[in-house]
Amino acid sequence: MMYDVAIIGAGVIGSAIARELSKYDVKCCVIEREEDVCCGTSKANSAIIHAGFDAKPGTLKAKLNVRGNEMMDQLSKDLDIPFKRNGSLVVCTKNQDPAGLEELLEKAKANGVPRCRILDRDELIAMEPNLSDDVVAALHAPTGAIVCPFHMTMAFAENAFENGVEFFLNTNVEKIEKAECGYRIITNKETFETKVVVNAAGVYSDEFNNQVSDRKLQIIARKGEYMLLDKQAGCHVNQTIFQLPSKMGKGVLVSPTVHGNLLVGPTAADIENKEGTDTTQKYLDSLGPLSALSVKNVPLRQVITSFAGLRAHEVDGDFVIGEAEDAPGFFNAAGIESPGLSSAPAIGEYLGDMIAEKLALVKKENFKATRKGILNPEHLTMEERNALIKENPAYGNIICRCEMISEGEILDAIHRPLGARSLDGVKRRTRAGMGRCQAGFCSPRTMEILAREVPMEMNEITKNGGKSTYIVGTNKNI
Amino acid sequence: MKNYDLVIVGGGPAGLAAAVSARDNGIESILIIERDKELGGILNQCIHNGFGLHTFKEELTGPEYAARFAAQVYERNIEYKLNTMVMDINDDKVVTAMNREDGMFQIQAKAVILAMGCRERSRGALNIPGYRPAGIYSAGTAQRLVNMEGFMPGKKCVILGSGDIGLIMARRMTLEGAKVEVVAELMPYSGGLKRNIVQCLDDFGIPLKLSHTVIDIEGKERVEAITIAEVGPDRKPIPGTEIRYECDTLLLSCGLLPENELSRSAGVNLSPITSGPVVNDSLETNIDGIFACGNVLHVHDLVDYVSQEATTAGKNAANYIKNGKNAEAKEVKIYPEGGVRYTVPATIRPSEMDDTLTVRFRVADVYKNHAICTYFDNELISKRKRPVMAPGEMEQVILTKAKLAEYPELDRITITLEEA
């Protein structure tokens, strides 16, 4: 198959680039090894849109973070992404040098982050009564925000799909080689020929780059472990609470999520195994004492799940974005660690412009700029909800009792563009199974719905593709 | 808005018995709201026998036990709605619910009985480290799959936690052709009934390893191996004691949690020990006219006790609807001490209580040759010797109105364990 652009990776970066390119008249595809979009780093991170004060001025991280943050107000409306500017604080405790806050404030100014200022303890406590007793001051960034990373990725991907980008899921890139047309991408399924390759392969982006370029990259998987707390704990803090980096490390954050939970993490450990998304006792145990440095009485007993994500850390420290010097037509979006999610819209724009120029692409007239997300009936009045149920009774049938998710929302998740085919796919789209019972009650019911609607056999239903099946047979027949 | 005298949230064993009792005590206008497609609650998936020895003096399966109570509901023409989820309850006893046919609707109730039951502690709540593959189920989820849908969740499994559902599922999985390698229990004693250990593990040669826990889950897509280790008195794993089992399934039976999200929205005070509402002798919460019974109140060992408790709640709710509440009644607090973890009820009003009141509780550890002692202020009122008490089984003390009447100045009741 011949393409103008083939994007490797359907995480938030690949999807943002795909959406940007779908504004043009271009034959573009996204190749993803997993069964769904948003299955790697994009699904397991802090779910933060950073204000942009952290990165060193002049770096791509600084520039694209601030730009990405700016873009989110409009994007969240256009693409119906759950997004909230809750503000962020970087807190300094009495044992730390407050000069660190001044340095951050200077960086904020240099990076063009608006309205940052340093607050004293009294002002802070009025905002955040649960800050630790040791907190003496903090940098306040009102543009700091939280987002649903699943919906952000899916919004980009669905919108790209609706504008003509093809998605090849369950397709694992095995090798990239130079070819007459540009590049040949060999996968476990078909072979793709393309003029331009976009390498948005997360922790594997070094391997693909190194197959075609002599400017070698080295990506280290830096594991971050998190604990997600029950919605009862969601109001423990209002803003995202970061810690002033110290010799002991960057610290952990305590933040509400857009869905109303409380998130604590991440730890940081460089690991060898790029598939190593297991959590460890040691690091989970460390989250209590670490979070207590900035926020007191974090109700860790209300944990509902823990998870680990891998940051794609490039050894030189900055994002690697752009055409490889010695491999024309091979564009990297590599080393996308924090603030990668925040920068994703800007990375899409930045690379999209580059590729459009390279291929002399023309904007298409019928680009559909908006996408409607899965309806959240929580936001409806009782009258509106009843009208909805009358039209589609499935919205009256609650499947996930913890998150109060109806069958209507699950049907939407399955039947929309790039719809869910697994329990995790349903979960990321609707939150069914993401609540306090962690799918104990709803998984058999969600499986029935998947089996009926896709349709598929019960023993074909997976948690997240591959061999992750739930059912091994029928009674007395395994 | 519709009006009912009594709304019962949940059509499991607690809700059914409460409804029958309220009707028999003169309440006509009753609505049971059940989220599942049939009455009976979790009993419908408990197809093993052993239910009803106290209530019916015979051994029934879960569905049979539920059917007997459901039949009483049908006989009395008590109204119920299936496939209906209660979305909210407020402190004015306005119940908001939803289903396919009626949409979202509100009911003004004079009294509400909370009977939502409990849920299982999940892998996430246990914070077990490792990967997050398919093949990790709570024992109850596996029970539903096997018993109600006929699907096997695995071929070779390790079970963490020796709660009753885990023990029952060890036998069930074995009977359906799976191999259960081991049941690991963090505590030095089982959380389940003795008879279940004998009938579900011993009879099938399934080892029970006390003071063991899961320390690693392997497998990125589906469970491939589980490692357990022995734990010390601090419940931390002891290095060098690891045992690795190749398997495809981990079942969790690590405790049940009363489901009180609705109670919380109504402003009901919850006990940090039971996670259930704090109730008085009427099983009434701090919100007037909101009562609780069954596993939403505290997790029971036997359904017979759920039915008894719910019968009391139904009668008291009926009394509240007919006669209101004596706000002046003196309330005496019951203090659980010395190994008694909590009591239900937590307070008692001597002027309002029935002639006898059963106070139920669980103990914190395994106690041999101890006695359950009841004090009125500092005076020992009763002492009942128990050869063995364990956290997996409920204990009880019966208080009488007559005895309490002898102590008009009573300030506190203490229930405690003492060496016999």
Tokens encoding A474? 């029928």
Give B153→chain A minimum CA distance, Å.
Answer: 5
Of B130, B135, B261, nearest to A278 by CB-CB distance is B130
Report yes or no: A78 and A162 within 8 Å, Cβ to Cβ: no
Indicate the residue of A284, A463, A475 with minimum beta-carbon distance to B129: A284
Contact: B153, A470; criterion CB under 8 Å: yes
**pTM of the predicted model, to two decimals?**
0.96
What radius of gyration do chain A's Cα atoms show?
Answer: 22
What are the tokens at A235? Answer: 């109001």
Interface A-B: count of C-beta contacts within 8 A: 147
pLDDT for residue A164? 98
**Residue B301, C-beta contacts closer than 8 angstroms, at least 6 positions apart:** B164, B193, B392, B393, B394
pLDDT one-digit tens code per residue, B307-358: 999 999 999 999 999 999 999 999 999 999 999 999 999 999 999 999 999 9
pLDDT at position A1 = 83
Strands A145-147 and A48-49: antiparallel
Cβ within 8 Å of residue B154, ≥6 positions away = A472, B135, B142, B173, B178, B223, B247, B248, B249
Q: Tens-digit pLDDT profile for chain A (478 aa)?
A: 899 999 999 999 999 999 999 999 999 999 999 999 999 999 999 999 999 999 999 999 999 999 999 999 999 999 999 999 999 999 999 999 999 999 999 999 999 999 999 999 999 999 999 999 999 999 999 999 999 999 999 999 999 999 999 999 999 999 999 999 999 999 999 999 999 999 999 999 999 999 999 999 999 999 999 999 999 999 999 999 999 987 767 889 999 999 999 999 999 999 999 999 999 999 999 999 999 999 999 999 999 999 999 999 999 999 999 999 999 999 999 999 999 999 999 999 999 999 999 999 999 999 999 999 999 998 999 999 999 999 999 999 999 999 999 999 999 999 999 999 999 999 999 999 999 999 999 999 999 999 999 999 999 999 999 999 999 999 999 8
What's the CA gap between B293 and B405, in Å, rounded? Answer: 26
**Residues in chain B within 8 Å Cβ distance of A404:** 85, 87
Cβ contact (<8 Å) for A474 and B85? no
Instruction: Return d(Cα B11, Cα B65) in angstroms, integer.
Output: 13
- What residues does B185 pair with on adjacent strands? B210
Residue of A278, A303, A472 lying closest to B248 (CB–CB): A472
ipTM tops the 0.85 cut: yes
Known catalytic membership, residue A50 = yes
B340 Cβ contact list (under 8 Å, min separation 6): B361, B363, B364, B372, B395, B415, B416, B417
For B277, which DSSP code?
Answer: B
Q: Under a CB-based contact definition with an 8 Å cutoff, are residues B228 and B241 in contact?
A: no
Minimal C-alpha gap between B135 and chain A (Å): 6
Q: How far is B365 from chain A (nearest CA, A)?
A: 21
- One-letter amino acid at A7 equals I
Contact A398 B131 (CB under 8 A): no
DSSP codes, A379-446:
GS-HHHHHHHHHH-GGGG-EEETTTTEEHHHHHHHHHSTT---SHHHHHHHH-TT-STTTTTTTHHHH
Is residue B42 within 8 A of residue B12, CB to CB? The reply is yes
Residues B65 and B12: beta-carbon distance below 8 Å: no
Count of CB atoms situated within 10 Å of the CB of A150? 25
- Nearest by CB to A474, from B152, B154, B264: name it: B152
Residue B191's pLDDT band (cuts 50, 70, 90): confident
Which residues 6+ apart lie within 8 Å of B261 measured at CB?
A402
Amino acid, res. B160? L
Task: Identify the CA nearest to B383 among candidates B415, B411, B352, B347.
Answer: B415
| Residues of A in Cβ contact (< 8 Å) with B155 | 472-473, 478
Helix locations, B266-302, DSSP H: none
- The residue of chain B nearest to residue A433, with distances taken between CA atoms, is B122
In this complex, do A396 and B102 lie within 8 Å of one another by their Cβ atoms? Answer: yes
pLDDT digits (tens, 9 = 90+) for A135-144: 999 999 999 9
